[in-house]
Amino acid sequence: MKKNQITRIQDSHEEYLSKTHYESASTIKLAIESDNDYVWFKKANKGNTKAQSFGTALHMALLEPEKFDNTYWCLSDSDKEDPSSSWVVKVNKDKKVALVELHAGKLLLEEDEWNAIQIVGERLIYDNRFTDFVAPAYKEVSFYDDNFFEGIAVKCRPDAYFGVMDVDIKSTKAADPKGFWYEFLKYKYHIQRAVAVDIMHKYGIPIEASCILAVSNTPPFNHEFYRVPNHLIESGRELYQLGLQNIKRIKAGEIYNGYQIPGQQMDENGMIILENKWK
Protein backbone atom coordinates (compact mmCIF):
# COMPACT_ATOMS: atom_id res chain seq x y z
CA MET A 1 0.00 0.00 0.00
CA LYS A 2 1.30 3.46 -0.92
CA LYS A 3 0.38 6.63 0.94
CA ASN A 4 2.04 10.05 1.17
CA GLN A 5 5.01 8.82 -0.94
CA ILE A 6 5.44 5.96 1.54
CA THR A 7 5.14 2.28 0.67
CA ARG A 8 3.96 -0.01 3.48
CA ILE A 9 4.63 -3.67 2.81
CA GLN A 10 5.13 -6.90 4.76
CA ASP A 11 8.31 -8.10 3.07
CA SER A 12 11.08 -10.32 4.38
CA HIS A 13 14.02 -9.12 6.44
CA GLU A 14 16.33 -10.05 3.56
CA GLU A 15 14.25 -7.99 1.11
CA TYR A 16 14.32 -5.06 3.51
CA LEU A 17 18.11 -5.20 3.80
CA SER A 18 18.51 -5.47 0.02
CA LYS A 19 16.86 -2.07 -0.58
CA THR A 20 20.09 -0.14 -0.03
CA HIS A 21 18.85 2.90 -1.95
CA TYR A 22 16.94 3.76 1.21
CA GLU A 23 18.81 5.07 4.22
CA SER A 24 18.03 3.52 7.60
CA ALA A 25 18.66 4.43 11.21
CA SER A 26 21.84 2.34 11.01
CA THR A 27 23.34 4.27 8.07
CA ILE A 28 22.18 7.57 9.55
CA LYS A 29 24.05 6.78 12.78
CA LEU A 30 27.19 6.00 10.78
CA ALA A 31 26.94 9.33 8.96
CA ILE A 32 26.85 11.04 12.36
CA GLU A 33 30.01 9.20 13.44
CA SER A 34 31.99 10.24 10.37
CA ASP A 35 31.79 10.42 6.59
CA ASN A 36 34.28 7.55 6.33
CA ASP A 37 32.15 5.29 8.55
CA TYR A 38 29.17 5.84 6.26
CA VAL A 39 31.08 5.41 2.99
CA TRP A 40 32.95 2.33 4.25
CA PHE A 41 29.71 0.62 5.31
CA LYS A 42 28.04 1.36 1.99
CA LYS A 43 30.92 -0.26 0.11
CA ALA A 44 31.57 -3.17 2.48
CA ASN A 45 29.77 -6.50 2.59
CA LYS A 46 29.51 -6.99 6.31
CA GLY A 47 28.28 -10.26 7.80
CA ASN A 48 26.33 -10.56 11.02
CA THR A 49 28.10 -10.92 14.34
CA LYS A 50 27.14 -13.76 16.69
CA ALA A 51 25.11 -11.32 18.80
CA GLN A 52 23.27 -10.02 15.72
CA SER A 53 22.50 -13.56 14.54
CA PHE A 54 21.08 -14.38 17.99
CA GLY A 55 18.99 -11.21 17.87
CA THR A 56 17.60 -12.15 14.44
CA ALA A 57 16.60 -15.60 15.68
CA LEU A 58 15.06 -14.14 18.85
CA HIS A 59 13.00 -11.65 16.82
CA MET A 60 11.65 -14.39 14.60
CA ALA A 61 10.83 -16.67 17.53
CA LEU A 62 8.86 -13.94 19.33
CA LEU A 63 7.21 -12.29 16.33
CA GLU A 64 6.96 -15.07 13.75
CA PRO A 65 7.05 -18.39 15.66
CA GLU A 66 5.82 -20.50 12.73
CA LYS A 67 8.55 -19.08 10.51
CA PHE A 68 11.10 -19.70 13.26
CA ASP A 69 10.19 -23.40 13.38
CA ASN A 70 10.70 -23.63 9.62
CA THR A 71 13.99 -21.70 9.67
CA TYR A 72 16.00 -22.97 12.65
CA TRP A 73 16.82 -26.22 14.33
CA CYS A 74 19.04 -27.31 17.22
CA LEU A 75 21.35 -30.27 17.71
CA SER A 76 20.87 -31.25 21.34
CA ASP A 77 22.90 -33.66 23.42
CA SER A 78 19.57 -35.31 24.24
CA ASP A 79 19.46 -36.45 20.58
CA LYS A 80 22.46 -38.75 21.04
CA GLU A 81 21.97 -42.49 20.69
CA ASP A 82 24.64 -42.94 23.35
CA PRO A 83 24.25 -40.06 25.84
CA SER A 84 27.46 -41.02 27.68
CA SER A 85 29.65 -40.56 24.58
CA SER A 86 30.62 -37.62 22.41
CA TRP A 87 29.25 -36.86 18.94
CA VAL A 88 32.36 -38.38 17.30
CA VAL A 89 31.40 -41.88 18.45
CA LYS A 90 29.94 -43.76 15.46
CA VAL A 91 26.37 -44.26 16.70
CA ASN A 92 26.13 -40.59 17.63
CA LYS A 93 27.91 -39.44 14.48
CA ASP A 94 25.47 -41.43 12.33
CA LYS A 95 22.54 -39.89 14.23
CA LYS A 96 23.97 -36.42 13.66
CA VAL A 97 24.27 -37.05 9.90
CA ALA A 98 20.64 -38.22 9.82
CA LEU A 99 19.47 -35.13 11.73
CA VAL A 100 21.38 -32.79 9.43
CA GLU A 101 19.70 -34.42 6.41
CA LEU A 102 16.29 -34.21 8.13
CA HIS A 103 16.71 -30.47 8.71
CA ALA A 104 18.34 -29.67 5.36
CA GLY A 105 17.87 -26.01 4.46
CA LYS A 106 17.45 -24.86 8.04
CA LEU A 107 19.92 -22.83 10.07
CA LEU A 108 21.57 -24.55 13.02
CA LEU A 109 21.34 -22.77 16.36
CA GLU A 110 23.70 -23.66 19.16
CA GLU A 111 21.97 -25.39 22.04
CA ASP A 112 22.57 -22.56 24.50
CA GLU A 113 21.04 -20.05 22.06
CA TRP A 114 18.07 -22.34 21.40
CA ASN A 115 17.46 -22.82 25.12
CA ALA A 116 17.73 -19.07 25.80
CA ILE A 117 15.11 -18.31 23.15
CA GLN A 118 12.76 -20.94 24.59
CA ILE A 119 13.19 -19.50 28.10
CA VAL A 120 12.43 -15.95 26.96
CA GLY A 121 9.42 -17.08 24.93
CA GLU A 122 7.94 -19.03 27.83
CA ARG A 123 8.33 -16.08 30.21
CA LEU A 124 6.74 -13.60 27.82
CA ILE A 125 3.63 -15.75 27.51
CA TYR A 126 2.88 -14.73 31.11
CA ASP A 127 3.77 -11.04 30.66
CA ASN A 128 0.61 -8.99 30.03
CA ARG A 129 2.61 -6.27 28.32
CA PHE A 130 3.64 -8.76 25.64
CA THR A 131 0.26 -10.42 25.26
CA ASP A 132 -1.57 -7.05 25.19
CA PHE A 133 0.71 -4.97 22.97
CA VAL A 134 3.00 -7.28 20.97
CA ALA A 135 1.14 -10.54 20.35
CA PRO A 136 -1.87 -8.88 18.60
CA ALA A 137 0.23 -6.24 16.79
CA TYR A 138 1.21 -5.76 13.17
CA LYS A 139 4.64 -7.36 13.00
CA GLU A 140 7.69 -6.99 10.75
CA VAL A 141 6.09 -4.44 8.43
CA SER A 142 8.44 -2.26 6.37
CA PHE A 143 7.90 1.39 5.47
CA TYR A 144 9.75 2.98 2.53
CA ASP A 145 9.60 6.76 2.26
CA ASP A 146 10.84 8.00 -1.12
CA ASN A 147 11.25 11.58 0.10
CA PHE A 148 11.70 11.59 3.85
CA PHE A 149 14.22 14.40 4.13
CA GLU A 150 15.17 16.85 1.37
CA GLY A 151 14.94 14.25 -1.36
CA ILE A 152 16.59 11.43 0.62
CA ALA A 153 14.74 8.10 0.73
CA VAL A 154 14.55 6.47 4.18
CA LYS A 155 13.16 3.16 5.41
CA CYS A 156 12.15 1.70 8.76
CA ARG A 157 10.88 -1.68 9.97
CA PRO A 158 9.16 -1.44 13.37
CA ASP A 159 9.07 -4.83 15.05
CA ALA A 160 5.48 -4.41 16.18
CA TYR A 161 2.87 -1.66 16.36
CA PHE A 162 -0.61 -1.76 17.80
CA GLY A 163 -2.93 1.22 18.06
CA VAL A 164 -0.84 4.20 19.17
CA MET A 165 2.11 2.13 20.44
CA ASP A 166 5.12 0.62 18.71
CA VAL A 167 7.48 -1.87 20.34
CA ASP A 168 11.02 -2.67 19.21
CA ILE A 169 12.83 -5.77 20.49
CA LYS A 170 16.49 -5.43 21.45
CA SER A 171 18.78 -8.23 22.58
CA THR A 172 21.25 -6.68 24.98
CA LYS A 173 24.00 -7.41 27.45
CA ALA A 174 22.02 -5.69 30.17
CA ALA A 175 18.23 -5.54 30.41
CA ASP A 176 18.25 -3.80 33.81
CA PRO A 177 17.38 -0.06 33.83
CA LYS A 178 20.91 1.18 34.57
CA GLY A 179 22.63 -1.19 32.14
CA PHE A 180 20.13 -0.69 29.35
CA TRP A 181 20.35 3.10 29.67
CA TYR A 182 24.06 2.76 28.84
CA GLU A 183 23.24 0.49 25.87
CA PHE A 184 20.52 2.90 24.74
CA LEU A 185 22.93 5.81 24.56
CA LYS A 186 25.82 3.77 23.15
CA TYR A 187 23.77 2.53 20.20
CA LYS A 188 21.65 5.68 19.88
CA TYR A 189 18.39 3.77 19.87
CA HIS A 190 16.45 7.04 20.07
CA ILE A 191 17.46 7.79 16.47
CA GLN A 192 15.82 4.58 15.29
CA ARG A 193 12.71 5.24 17.34
CA ALA A 194 12.42 8.83 16.07
CA VAL A 195 12.77 7.74 12.43
CA ALA A 196 10.12 5.04 12.86
CA VAL A 197 7.71 7.34 14.71
CA ASP A 198 8.05 10.11 12.13
CA ILE A 199 7.65 7.85 9.09
CA MET A 200 4.59 6.19 10.63
CA HIS A 201 3.12 9.59 11.54
CA LYS A 202 3.65 10.73 7.96
CA TYR A 203 1.93 7.56 6.72
CA GLY A 204 -1.01 8.24 9.05
CA ILE A 205 -0.33 5.93 12.00
CA PRO A 206 -0.57 8.10 15.17
CA ILE A 207 2.13 6.52 17.33
CA GLU A 208 2.13 8.16 20.77
CA ALA A 209 4.21 5.68 22.76
CA SER A 210 7.46 4.24 21.40
CA CYS A 211 8.71 1.36 23.51
CA ILE A 212 11.56 -1.14 23.65
CA LEU A 213 11.47 -4.72 24.86
CA ALA A 214 15.01 -5.34 26.11
CA VAL A 215 16.00 -9.01 26.35
CA SER A 216 19.27 -10.02 27.97
CA ASN A 217 21.36 -12.36 25.80
CA THR A 218 23.15 -13.79 28.86
CA PRO A 219 21.78 -15.91 31.75
CA PRO A 220 19.29 -15.65 33.34
CA PHE A 221 17.90 -13.95 30.17
CA ASN A 222 15.83 -11.32 31.93
CA HIS A 223 13.60 -8.97 29.97
CA GLU A 224 12.01 -5.58 30.59
CA PHE A 225 9.82 -3.09 28.72
CA TYR A 226 10.89 0.55 28.47
CA ARG A 227 9.04 3.57 27.10
CA VAL A 228 11.21 6.11 25.30
CA PRO A 229 10.22 9.56 26.66
CA ASN A 230 9.29 12.36 24.29
CA HIS A 231 12.40 14.41 25.00
CA LEU A 232 14.58 11.51 23.80
CA ILE A 233 12.45 11.10 20.68
CA GLU A 234 13.04 14.80 20.01
CA SER A 235 16.78 14.37 20.61
CA GLY A 236 16.76 11.43 18.19
CA ARG A 237 14.93 13.59 15.65
CA GLU A 238 17.61 16.29 15.87
CA LEU A 239 20.33 13.68 15.44
CA TYR A 240 18.77 11.94 12.45
CA GLN A 241 18.34 15.31 10.73
CA LEU A 242 22.05 15.97 11.32
CA GLY A 243 22.92 12.54 9.92
CA LEU A 244 20.72 13.02 6.84
CA GLN A 245 22.27 16.42 6.20
CA ASN A 246 25.67 14.71 6.26
CA ILE A 247 24.42 12.01 3.86
CA LYS A 248 23.09 14.65 1.47
CA ARG A 249 26.50 16.36 1.49
CA ILE A 250 28.34 13.03 1.01
CA LYS A 251 26.09 12.11 -1.92
CA ALA A 252 26.96 15.47 -3.46
CA GLY A 253 30.65 14.46 -3.38
CA GLU A 254 31.75 16.58 -0.41
CA ILE A 255 33.41 14.05 1.91
CA TYR A 256 35.37 14.97 5.03
CA ASN A 257 38.08 12.94 6.77
CA GLY A 258 38.12 12.61 10.53
CA TYR A 259 35.28 13.79 12.74
CA GLN A 260 34.28 17.22 11.49
CA ILE A 261 30.89 17.56 13.17
CA PRO A 262 29.01 20.88 12.84
CA GLY A 263 29.04 22.75 16.15
CA GLN A 264 31.88 20.65 17.58
CA GLN A 265 34.13 22.68 19.86
CA MET A 266 37.79 22.88 18.78
CA ASP A 267 40.83 24.35 20.52
CA GLU A 268 43.36 26.72 18.97
CA ASN A 269 45.33 23.75 17.59
CA GLY A 270 42.37 22.22 15.78
CA MET A 271 41.87 19.46 18.36
CA ILE A 272 38.37 18.39 19.34
CA ILE A 273 37.34 19.30 22.90
CA LEU A 274 35.55 16.39 24.53
CA GLU A 275 32.04 17.23 25.70
CA ASN A 276 28.87 15.41 26.67
CA LYS A 277 26.51 16.67 23.95
CA TRP A 278 25.65 13.68 21.78
CA LYS A 279 22.96 12.08 23.95
The whole-number average pLDDT for the span 71-78 is 94
In the chain, where the domains are located: 2-251
Secondary structure letter of residue 77 according to DSSP = G
Predicted TM-score (pTM) of this structure: 0.89
The mean predicted confidence, pLDDT, of the chain is 93
Residue partners of 170: CB distance under 8 A and separation at least 6: 55, 183, 189, 212, 213, 214, 215
Please, how many CA atoms are within 13 Å of residue 102, restricted to the half-sphere of its CB? 9
- Catalogue the E-assigned strands of the chain: 2-3, 6-9, 72-74, 107-109, 138-139, 142-149, 152-156, 160-162, 165-172, 209-216, 223-228
The class (CATH top level) of 2-251 is: alpha beta
Outline where 10-49 has alpha helix (H): 13-18, 25-33, 35-43
DSSP states along 147-174: EEETTEEEEE--SEEETTEEEEEEEES-
The phi, psi pair for 87, rounded to 5°, reads -70, -15
Q: How many other C-beta atoms lie within 10 A of the C-beta of residue 7?
A: 17
Asked if the model's pLDDT at residue 184 lies above 70, the reply is yes
Ranking 45-49, 221-225, 235-239 by mean pLDDT, the lowest is 45-49
Q: What are phi and psi of 103, to 5 degrees?
A: -105, 25
CA distance 215 to 159: 14
Confidence check: pLDDT of 160 > 70 = yes
pLDDT the model gives residue 146 = 96
User: Positive or negative, the Cα torsion across 126, 233, 25, 47?
Assistant: negative
- C-alpha distances (whole Å) from 104 to each of 70, 81, 112 are 11, 20, 21
- For residues 10 and 141, the answer to whether their CB atoms sit within 8 Å is yes
Is the predicted pLDDT of residue 161 greater than 80, yes or no? yes
Q: pLDDT digits over 90-116, tens only? A: 999 999 999 999 999 999 999 999 999
pLDDT at 179: 96
